Amino acid sequence: MVCFSVAKSPPELVAPSEPTPGGTLPLSFMDRNPALRVLICSAFVYREGGKEAATAIREALSKALVPYYPVAGRITDTAEDGEPEIACTGDGAWFVEATANCSLADVSYLQQPLENVAKEDLLPFPPPKVDEKDLILLLQVTKFKCGGFVIGLRSSHAVFDGVGQGEFLKAVGELARGLPQPSVAPVWGRDAFHNPPKFPRGPLPAFTPFNFEISVLDLTSDFINQVKNQYLKETGQRCSSFDVVSAKVWQCRTRVVGLTSPDDRVHLGFAVNTRHLLQDVLPAEGGYYGNCVYNMAVSAAGDVVACAPLVEVVGMIREAKRRVPSEFSKWMTDGAAVANALPLGCGTMTVLDWSRVGFFEVDYGWGQPMHGAPLVDTNFIAWCILLKPLPPNQGLRLLMRCVEKQHLAYFSSQMMSSALSRAN
């Protein structure tokens, strides 16, 4: 067993490679949700390029911060209306170069859940006196003895949603590969959004954590396609891989935690990318990297979710998706109340799809990542995140924290009963 350690360089600011505009820029009302004033942590594993990766990515990051110049600024709360905005200071993004004492194989290619590896070793941190709540981007490149490397990211959710973060990283990758400019030009565009009443101010509520354990399962393409075909046969309509996976996890978890009576209410929340509903606001050519996420919810009696055929549970999720355009339009018009707020109890879980937002297509010159995942500690709500499986596997990898340790075996058996297999 390797005693993993890394040697980190002092954090440095990587500024834009050319002069950039100053001043301040507004955040949209979707960005200003207080719950988004956090740094999202993630790590992506690459097999090759370790010796040259840090230099190439540092230089590409500096170039990317010219068209993405707001990312080189800081979040400030000095606007006249008291809302946060971006000060385009040109300070830059914090960058750390690190070297690991082993190969990626020695640490199982850093598959989740991490074992004998502290996530802090893979993630960048600024100097002690820097206020993290004002930062937008921090990046660390950790080189391994095998020649591989890991990108560790901490990025502000108030500036990027998942698709936006994916586009930014693709731009860095394109510049690292020698392209003269990103293939998609970034657009700030926040001032084009409707500006409804403010979100409530003040601290976020305190949450009582659960004791849910992290688990990982791989769902095969064969199973996903089997359910898709069955849904098409029974309803004459199509469904997505997300629908199938969400339905399966929701149903199995409901059974395992015992919320199976008619008096129990169980809830499923998921984030919907609404860019296609904002065509009158966003540029047709793309490039908008701010938040375009609407939170959707499905609620039902526990016995219905636990006992219904899986196709019917898929139908519940499809029905919720059909409501998105009308509900989102009303939400955008009537105000910035929390969309479809979920009760924070054992009967609630959320599903997020990281498999299609662009993270797994980022190439810095040595190919796409073999895998990647958020590094999440959240334990006040049950959650499941969809990821790409390790190549050459097809299907989806499920990173979950939704049941307690004593329920893991039963949960795994329920999931595996329908062509799911444990992650290797």
Catalytic positions are 157, 363
Phi, psi torsion values for 409, nearest 5 degrees: -65, -45
Q: How far is the CA of 167 from the CAs of 84, 328, 366, in angstroms?
A: 23, 24, 18
Task: List residues bridging with 183 in a β-sheet.
Answer: none
Instruction: Report the distance separating Cα 292 and Cα 282, nearest Å.
Output: 10
User: Which among 65, 63, 81, 64 is positioned nearest to 27, based on CA atoms?
Assistant: 81
| Rounded CA separation 344/383 (Å) | 12
Which residues, at least 6 apart from 285, have a Cβ–Cβ distance to it below 8 Å? 184, 185
Rounded CA-CA distance 370/49 in Å is 13
Distance, CA of 130 to CA of 12 (rounded, Å): 12
268: nearest Cα among 219, 229, 305, 307: 305
The answer to whether residues 137 and 157 touch, using CB atoms and an 8 Å cutoff, is no
Strand partners of residue 421: 218
**Torsion-angle region of 226 (φ positive above 0: left; ψ -120 to 50: alpha; else: beta):** alpha
* DSSP for 231-258, written as a single string: HHHHHS----HHHHHHHHHHHHHHHHTT
- Report which DSSP code applies to 272: E
